[in-house]
Amino acid sequence: MTAASSLTITDLPYGGRGIGRLDGKVCFVPGVLPGETVRVKITRDRGDFLEAEPLEILTASPHRVKPTCPLASSLGLRSFSEGGCPGCCYQHADYEEEVRIKNNQLGALLARWAPTSGRRQNPEGAYEALPAPGGRSPPSLLPPVAAPSPLGYRNKMALHAQADGKEMRLGYFMADNTTVLDVPACPLAAAPLNEILKERRGDPSFFRTLRDGMTVTFRWTEQDGAQWWRNRASEKDVWLVESSVIGPLSVPRNSFYQMNPAMADRLVTAVMERLKADLPDTVIDLYCGVGVFALAAATLGIPKVLGIDLDGPGIQAAEYNARKLGLKNTHWKSATANEGILDVELDHPNQATLIVDPPRSGLGRKLVQEILKHTPRRLLYISCAPDTMVRDAAWLKEGGYSIHTSQLFDLFPRTAHFESLTEFKRVD
């Protein structure tokens, strides 16, 4: 094996690194696109596979573009060996191609879940699972929902302070998860956030207040404008107000809210459309946060809606939001998802829908087992990590559920991440 080799990128699996083959081994390469031929330097031999850094694009994809951000780790700007910002792994692809790649990734992960005899490439370039002989058809992958803009969408930035001698850096962690890359501006952030960041960075007294390991959060809403605070905000601080497709929603500063409001509205609308297509009499919303999906369900007139989340201030906000929206068909409980579901009683499981929006770790086997005991007719699974969603899908399949549809929502353009909405139905 030579220090520098050339290879052709054949695929771009979930995570954003391209793959090719060298000396019979799979080789992972960041900053590349499918179909490109690249010269690479091997950085690590993992035994079963290799990791490499791109040195030169020998044959470029027609979808390759110059990255917007000067901190991006991509050829032509900051090199990977220099340690650029690892967050935007698709800065070098046009946005249409990024969405196609991500949708292909979701389809490939779903194909693992369904019994198949292989996969085929459709005219749009995405891979579809082929049904196994005698097996059921693979789940239906609906057209992806792209963001209205791949830049300027984030309503929140959490930057880390790191002292290096007399210098204080404020920015994102690099690939080693230890070193902070100083970030003067982030093109993914809403313009008001970059404006207040520039203002703070221009004030020498601001940096004197920072300490090594401190986090500075910058947050923006249409009603409140740009705000910032060090570490955790005080629980006594006034709640922020987010605009949403179901009306204004109050959000405690330390509580979760989607960082792409425009795409969050599209996701909420899609959940409402799924519910309206077959109205249940009961909706249980696990990981409900400030109540977004539960409140959306309640606006449809569903008789019984229960939201469960560990975040106490978030549940308080959900109760407040329900009152402000005039919704009397909601109930709320502060508990972990595993604890909260133990007390759930479904009078008519065949008329119940469970909505889950877990963190990247997914549901886990224990919670899936509890869900299976309640046998709701339908499960709407909102996921920010399709790999753990597909893992959970395998356990749900063992309990008698099948995937009806799945759809990608690109809430995180230019990054490796995306959301998906997958509808599971109990097999009668």
Query: Of all helices (H) and strands (E), which one includes residue 397?
Result: helix 386-398
**Spatial distance between the Cα atoms of 45 and 335, rounded to a whole number of angstroms:** 45
CB contact at 8 A, 406 and 92: no
**Exposed/middle/buried for 375, CB within 10 Å: 0-12, 13-18, 19+?**
middle
Q: CB of 304 within 8 A of CB of 282? A: yes
168 and 210 Cβ atoms separated by less than 8 Å:
yes
The beta strands (E) that lie in 147-303 are given as: 156-164, 167-173, 180-182, 215-221, 225-230, 240-242, 249-251, 282-286
Q: CA 171 to CA 148: how far, in whole Å?
A: 26
Q: Which two tokens stand for residue 182?
A: 């100083």
Side chain identity, residue 140: S
Q: Are 380 and 421 within 8 A, CB to CB?
A: yes
Tell me the three state secondary structure of residue 405.
strand
Backbone conformation region of residue 240, classed left if phi is above 0, alpha if psi is from -120 to 50, else beta: beta
Alpha-carbon distance of 382 to 378, in angstroms, equals 13
Choosing from 69, 186, 288, 384, which is the catalytic residue? 384
**What SS3 class is residue 12?**
coil
**What are the CA-CA distances from residue 219 to residues 157, 174, 223 (Å)?**
7, 22, 12
Mark whether 89 is an active-site residue.
Answer: no
CA 349 to chain centre: 30
Compute the distance between CA of residue 359 and CA of residue 29 in angstroms, rounded to an integer.
Answer: 27
Catalogue the active-site residues: 384
